[in-house]
Structure 1
Amino acid sequence: MKEKFKKAKNSNLPLMILSILLLAFYIFPFFLVLINSLKPKMDILSNPVALPKTINFDNFINAFNTMGYPSALTNSFIITVLSLLLIIVFSSMLAYFLVRWDWKINKIIFMILVASMIIPFQALMIPFVTIYGSLNMLNSRLLLTVFYLGFGVSLATFMYHGFIKNVPVELEEAAKIDGATKLQVFWKIIFPILKPVTATIAILDVLWIWNDFLLPSLVLTSQSMRTIPLSTFYFFGQYTSSYGQAMAALILAIIPVIIFYIAMQDKIISGVIEGAGK
């Protein structure tokens, strides 16, 4: 028995070593950002890999004030949460409609949605900015959430569509016999079953919207509307770059995402496991 255990342990040793190396490879950039956020600019330029001689939080204080962190955090939070809610609600209902109503036009709509995912945003950004700029509709958080809805609904609908196809129709028929309306059937029967795919979509979209720079930079023109990625960018000027403050700003930017993951860890992991079981 001991010999079998030793053989199994030895066989897993290369995989364990490879996993440790990959972990170190992924953590190293975050480690660099953290140690450089605690050093003055000259120490960063002289040796960015070295540990800080003394722990100094001046970069965090200056970054917090310079980037207007409370305002930027509020803007990012409102835009991310509102966009995520709109994407989940509209995509799940659209996918349910496309699956359960077997119309020919629904297949065409679904194919158009799937095909739209291959169109890069860079091909659309100039017409969007030109059209909405001429209508004086830029610099609006609501408009930005509508943009995120338009760009995120295709992938989310595609994921919901494949999941709903595996949901038994008998569940809905039983609810209708009990007197439930179509909306009640969806929200009380179907949508709770979609928790695994909803968790996956939430992870993907939160990371995408929270970290997005290009679209907010085109839509949000005033300083009071800046999101966290936009505020972080302004530490890099044409002639000077505040590397220490920029690193501190990056740490401040990822803290809310880490808190979100820790708070939702159980639901995210259980959702992914249930989705894999499907």
Structure 2
Amino acid sequence: MTPRTVPAARGDRRRWVTRGHLVAAGLLTLAFVSPVYLTIVNAFKPQDQIIRDPAAPPAPPTTHNLTDALARSDRIVQIGLTNSAVTVVASVLLIIPLGAALSFWLSRRSARLRRIVLAGFAAGLMIPPAVVLLPTIRVLAFLHLDHTYPGLVLADVGGGYLSFAVFVYSGFLRSVPVEIVEAATVDGARGLRVWWTIVMPLLRPATATVAIFLSLWIWNDFMNPQFILGPLHGQTITTGIYLSVGQFSTDYAQLFGVMLLAAVVPVAGYLALQKQFIAGLTSGATK
């Protein structure tokens, strides 16, 4: 092989590698987008079209699936959406101030103590939720909070969600100048006032990131509501979808209508907070 052919061979190899990466990225994107596409198109198709060809677009589209889902006698959509929204709001409103306050307290402690505490929270992220589910239910039963929504919220707050919030806030607080906190302290502000009036406004992008991630995770959670609440004591939208699947036959048209209605709320919340979410991600990556 002559010296001139070596760069050409390397260029051909790079082009093939680039094309392989593009094909792999396209297939991966298709794998993530296909469930969303199937949910949308089948939410506007009757049962016979769904069974005949699930991937085909609706011809013609119909809104009967959505109206039938909303008109169910058990009001599974209305009750599920309300309970999920209340659970998400209550959990996030507790996790955000707890995570931000703890992260601010850690930022003012020694590096050794910070590493020890963060290692403990890292364990909360690494341990699978199913491993600690039974002990969590035992603790809630001892507190007489099993089969209750306050117990479900308490399980969300005490789980790995708080660990995630602490890690996000701790990373973002490294970009906050220490001089700002010191200046507020010199002016006579105490620790709680410094955290609430000085630090929290600076953490707005990180708060949006934490709120979006935690809201999606808690909204989509199935295991905690199913086992902590129990099927006879309450339901969220995820357990409602599970109850919509029949044991011997399933109304897929109505099921896809319920699934589409369940996805409207988190998508609307993301669109409302996407600017702060993107700002939080870019700030954490560049500062």
| TM-score tier after normalising by the smaller chain length | 0.7 to 0.9
Using a 3 Å threshold, how does the CA distance of structure 1 residues 215 and 107 change in structure 2: closer, same or farther? Answer: same
| Identical amino acids, percent of aligned pairs | 33
Q: Is the 1:98–1:107 contact (alpha carbons within 8 Å) kept by the matching residues of 2?
A: no
**Counterpart-to-counterpart distance in 2, 1:44 and 1:208:** 29
Q: Is the 1:139–1:222 contact (alpha carbons within 8 Å) kept by the matching residues of 2?
A: no
What is residue 204 of structure 1 aligned with on the other side? 213
5+ residue gaps, structure 1, are: 1-10
Q: Is the 1:199–1:272 contact (alpha carbons within 8 Å) kept by the matching residues of 2?
A: no
1:24 deviates by 5.2
What is residue 96 of structure 2 aligned with on the other side? 88
1:56 deviates by 2.2
Q: Is the 1:200–1:271 contact (alpha carbons within 8 Å) kept by the matching residues of 2?
A: yes
What is residue 47 of structure 2 aligned with on the other side? 41
Between 1:111-120 and 1:65-74, the stretch displaced more is 65-74
- Pick one of 247, 252, 260 that aligns with 2:261: 252
**Counterpart-to-counterpart distance in 2, 1:224 and 1:118:** 30
What is residue 75 of structure 1 aligned with on the other side? 83
Note if 1:119 corresponds to 2:155: no
1:151-170 to 2 correspondences below 5 Å: 151=159, 152-170=161-179
1:109 deviates by 2.8
Q: Compute the TM-score of the two structures, normalised by the length of structure 1.
A: 0.85
The letter of the residue matching 1:159 is V
The letter of the residue matching 1:194 is L
Superposed CA offset, 1:112-151 (max 9, x none): 1222321111111123224434654222211111111111
**Counterpart-to-counterpart distance in 2, 1:268 and 1:105:** 30
The letter of the residue matching 1:57 is T
What is residue 8 of structure 2 aligned with on the other side? none
What is residue 175 of structure 1 aligned with on the other side? 184
Secondary structure of 1:84 counterpart: helix
Secondary structure of 1:160 counterpart: helix
1:103 deviates by 8.2
Superposed CA offset, 1:50-89 (max 9, x none): 2223322222122223353222211111110111111111
What is residue 71 of structure 2 aligned with on the other side? 65
Q: Compute the TM-score of the two structures, normalised by the length of structure 2.
A: 0.82
1:196 deviates by 2.4
1:21 deviates by 7.1
What is residue 198 of structure 2 aligned with on the other side? 189
**Counterpart-to-counterpart distance in 2, 1:162 and 1:43:** 50
5+ residue gaps, structure 2, are: 1-14
**Counterpart-to-counterpart distance in 1, 2:277 and 2:111:** 34
**Counterpart-to-counterpart distance in 1, 2:26 and 2:111:** 52
Q: Is the 1:144–1:219 contact (alpha carbons within 8 Å) kept by the matching residues of 2?
A: yes
The letter of the residue matching 2:120 is I
The letter of the residue matching 1:247 is F
CA RMSD across the alignment: 2.6
What is residue 7 of structure 2 aligned with on the other side? none
**Counterpart-to-counterpart distance in 1, 2:97 and 2:237:** 26
